[in-house]
Structure 1
Amino acid sequence: MIIALAGIAAFGISYFIYFNLAFPEVKCAAVKHLESPDTVSDCFECHIKATPKIAQDWYESKHGIMLVKCFVCHGQPDGKGSVPYAIDPDVDATCRKCHDPSIQKMEAKYGLEPKCNGCHPFHNNSLHHKAYVKSIAKKTVE
C-alpha cells in the first residue's frame, strides 16, 4: 500500500515538474485563472494553447478583429483560482447586451431560431451550416 502511494506521489511530482519545464510560458492561470488577465491578449496567450480551436475562431471572427474582450461575454475571472464566470453564457441575454437593436430589426432569411447560436456559432460569428441546411429543406418542401 505504501509503495503504491509512493508511486502515485512520484508520478504526480514528475508530471508537475515536466509540465512546468516543458511549458514555462503557460501558467496555472490557463486552467484555474489564478491571475485575472488585464487585456484580451492575456486571455488569448493562454487560450491559444489551452483551447486552440476556440481561441483561433475568436481571433478570426468579427469580435476578434474588433477586439471585443472575452469578459464582455464571459465575465471577468475573479483571480482567486475559481472559474465563476460563464463558460456557456445565456446566449440571448449576452448577445442582446450589444446586438439588441439589430435583433429587433432582424429578418431571418432561413427562419428564426429560438437562440442566436442556432444560426450564428459561438466565437466565429458566421452563419451556421444548419441555417443553410434549413433553407434548402424549406425550399424543397415549398
Structure 2
Amino acid sequence: GTLVSGAVLLVMSGARAPALQGVRGAFAAGAVSGFMNSSAGVGGPAVSLYAVNAGWTTREFVPNAQFYGVLVNAFSIAAKGVPRLTGPAWLLVAAGITAGAVVGRALADRVPEQRARRTVLLLALADGLTALGKGLWGL
C-alpha cells in the first residue's frame, strides 16, 4: 500500500522514470503488479502507473489494461480455482461487469484525456491507501 501510494503521488507530481518505459519497463511493471496482486490483491495500480509514466493515451491504456486483467484473472482462477459464490452473487458480478462496460462505453468519447488520467491515478491511490489501511488494521 505504501509503495503504490508513494508511486502514485510521485507520478501525480509530474515525476517520470525513463527506466520504466519500453519493454524493460513493461516487464518491471508486470513483475511488480504480479507480486502486489499475489501478496496484497492490488496489482492494477502498477500497470496504471506504467501507462501514465509511458504517456499512454486512454485509447492505448484501456484495451491493454483489459487484456492484462483477463490474463491476471485467468492465472488467479487457475491457481486458486473458481470463486465459490452463490447464484445471486454471480448475477451481481455479471450485472456489475455489464454496467461497467455500458457506462464506460458511453463515457469514453465524452471524458477528456486529462480527466481520465487523473481518475486512473486517483483510483490507484485509493487502492494503495486501502491496502495500507488493511495492512495496518491487521497488525
Q: TM-score, normalised by structure 2?
A: 0.27
Q: Which has the higher contact order (CA 8 A, sep 6+)?
A: 2
**TM-score if structure 1 supplies the norm length?**
0.27
Question: Relative to total residues, which structure has the larger helix share, 1 or 2?
Answer: 2
Q: Between Structure 1 and Structure 2, whose CA radius of gyration is higher?
A: 1
